[in-house]
Amino acid sequence: MRPFDHKNYHRNEDRITGDDSPCVVCGKGVKDRPGVLWVCVVDGGATYGVAGTSEGDAGYMGYFPVGPTCTKKHRVFWRGLGYAV
Binding footprint of Zn ion on the chain (CB under 5 A): 23, 25-26, 67, 70
Q: Which amino acid is at 83?
A: Y
For residue 46, the Cα-to-chain-centroid distance in whole angstroms is 12
CB of 60 to Zn ion, least distance (A): 22
- The Cα–Cα gap between 7 and 12 comes to 10
CB of 9 to Zn ion, least distance (A): 9
Nearer to Zn ion, 28 or 42 (CB): 28
Nearer to Zn ion, 60 or 68 (CB): 68
* Per-residue DSSP letter, 49: P
Nearer to Zn ion, 23 or 39 (CB): 23
CB of 52 to Zn ion, least distance (A): 22
Q: Let me know the angle formed at the C-alpha of 81 by 84 and 1, rounded to the nearest 5 degrees.
A: 115
